[in-house]
Amino acid sequence: MNFTSPCPTTPIFATLINTLLTSQCLLSPVDLFPSDYGPKLQDGDQFDFIVVGGGTAGSVVASRLSENRNWKVLLLEAGGYPSAESEIPMMCVAAVKGAEDWGYDSEPSPGVENRTMCCPRGKALGGSGAINGMIYLHGNREDFDSWEEEGWDYDSVVEYYRRFEDLRGVEDERFGKGGELKVIWEKSLQPLRQVLIDSFEELGFGKFTEENGIGHTYAYNNIWEGRRFSTAKAFLSTAEPRKNLHLALHSHVEKLLVDESLKVTGVKVRINGKLLKITSKGEVVLSAGAVNSPQILMNSGIGPREHLERVGIRAVKNLKVGRNLQDHLAFTGLAYNVAESALLPKNRGDVIDELYQYFMHRSGPLSKSPAESLILFANTKRQPNRPSLEVYHIIIYKDDIYGALPFLKIAWNLPEGAVQQLKASSQKSHVILLVPALTYPASTGEVLLDGSDPFGPPKIFTNHLGDEDDVQTLLDGIRLCQNLTRTAAFSAQAP
C-alpha cells in the first residue's frame, strides 16, 4: 500500500497500518458491503430505481428502496470502497487532498483577498461521511420549520431521525435507540473542556436546548468499536444480503438521460473506461452532493441557459442550478497558549503506546475524532432560536507531537508564515485555536461548469465575505472569542 502524508509521525503510522493490513489484524470494511456490480453492467441495462451517489444520503435511499424486494435498485458511486485508513477516526485529518477526496479548490474570492479555499468532498462509498470529523448533531429546529412544507417540519422529520439512530453511552430523549446508525457519546477527561464551559457560562451562555438553539453542547460521534461508522456502513451493510440491490463502484455519472417530455429516464455513466446508458423504469435519485449534483444537472442541460450555451451544452430546462451555494466560512487566526495542566499529559513516546492501544484494542486517542466535540452556538443578531455563529476549538499539543500543523495548512490553506507562528507557539506550550464560523452566511456563491468536459472538475465560486453582513458577523465572532479568553476561567490557564 502506498501511504503518503506530511505528518512527522507518518512513517510510524504507515509501518503499523501496512503490518496490520498484511496480517489481517485490521478488517477491511469491504467485507461489510455488497460486492461491486460495476463490471457486470451492460449498455442498456434497466432498473426500477437508480441512485447516483453512495454518500450520506444516497446510501440511505438505496437501502430503503431495496427493502421492497420487488424493486431492482442500482447505486452508482464514483469512488471505491472506503479504505482501511479511513476507518481509523484520528486519521480523518489526513483525508483532505487524499485518495478519497475529490480534491476541489474554490475559485479566488475578492472578499478574502482573492485567496482560494480547499473544498473537501468525499469520493468513496459513504461520501463526505467517509472523510469528515464524524461529528453528529440534529439540524436547527427553525430550519426545518421554515421549509413550510407539510410533513417536513422539525417535529415530523425528527421522528425519522430517531428511527435510524442508535445512541450509545448516554440517555438523551432527543435521539433514538435501536436503529441502524451508531451514535456515541464519550465523556472527555480533558481539563480544558470544563475550562471552556466555565468560560462560556461566565459570558452568559447556558446549555444548548433545541427550543432556544443557543448555548454550549457536546456533539455526538458516528464511531463504533473504535472505527468510523458512516451511513454507508450503517445502511448498506444491512442491505448486503439483498439480491435486488446492485452497487457499482468507480462509476462516474456524466449526465442524466432526459426525453422530449423532460422526463429523466436514466443516466450516462463511465465505468472502466466505457460509457454506458442505464435506464430506469421508475425514478433516478440524484444525491451526489452540493458540488457534483449541480455539475451532473448542468451536464444534462438542466441549469442556467446562458451559462450552458456558453460552454456548448443545449439547455433543455432553464433553472438556477448551482446558485445559492453557502459555505460556513471560519476564522482560524485566534491562537492562544495554555498551561500544560489544561490538557492531559502527553509526550512523543505516548504516540507509540497509543498506536498499540488502537491496533490491539481499538481504544485510545486514535479511536476518537480529532474534532473537539464541545461547541458553542451564539447569536449576535438577536434572532430568536437561530445562531449566527458556531464556535469550536482545535488543539495543537506542545511541540505538535501529533503532527497537526501540516494537515491544518492543507485543509485551511494557511500561509507558510502562519504555520511557522503556530509552530513557534507550540514549542512554548499547548496551543488552542478558537474558531468562530458563520452558520447562516449572507454571501452566496455558485457552481459552474469549466468548459464542456463532463468529467473535469467544476468551478466553485464560494464568494466568501462578499456580503458586508458576513464581515460584521465574523468580527462579532472574533470579539466573542477574545472576550472568552478574558474570563477568569480561561485566564487561569495562562502558561
pLDDT at 371 over 60: yes
- pLDDT per residue over 348-363, tens digit each? 767 778 888 888 888 8
Amino acid identity of residue 235, one-letter, is F
* Cα–Cα distance measured from residue 431 to residue 434, given in angstroms and rounded to the nearest whole number: 10
pLDDT at 13 over 80: no
More confident residue, 24 or 380: 380
- Which one of 3.50.50.60, 3.30.1330.60, 3.30.1280.10, 3.30.360.10 gives the CATH number of domain 1-101+116-135+228-323? 3.50.50.60
Report the range out of 45-54, 91-100, 208-217, 444-453 with the highest average pLDDT: 45-54
Neighbours of 59 (CB within 10 A): 30
* Cα–Cα distance measured from residue 59 to residue 1, given in angstroms and rounded to the nearest whole number: 27
Domain boundaries along the sequence of the chain:
1-101+116-135+228-323
pLDDT at 239 over 90: no
CA 422, 488, 330, 7: dihedral to nearest 10 degrees?
30
- pLDDT per residue over 414-424, tens digit each? 999 999 999 99
The structure's pTM equals 0.92
Q: What is the pLDDT of residue 24?
A: 42
Q: What is the pLDDT of residue 247?
A: 98
Mean pLDDT of the chain: 91
Average pLDDT over residues 112-118: 94
212: its cell numbers = 432556544
- The Cβ-side half-sphere exposure at 456, using a 13 Å CA radius, reads 10
Q: Is 51 marked as a binding-site residue?
A: no
* Cα–Cα distance measured from residue 242 to residue 412, given in angstroms and rounded to the nearest whole number: 42
DSSP codes joined into one string, 25-57: -S--GGGGS--B-GGG--TT-EEEEEEE--STT
Which helix (DSSP H) or strand (DSSP E) does residue 337 occupy? Answer: strand 335-338
Burial annotation 373-384 (CB, 10 A radius, 16+ → b, else e) = bbbbbbbbeeee
Amino acid identity of residue 201, one-letter, is E
Split at pLDDT 50, 70, 90, the class of 151 is confident
Give helix then strand counts, H and E, for the chain.
15, 23
Q: Write the CA distances from 21 to 12, 156, 212, integer angstroms.
A: 14, 44, 47
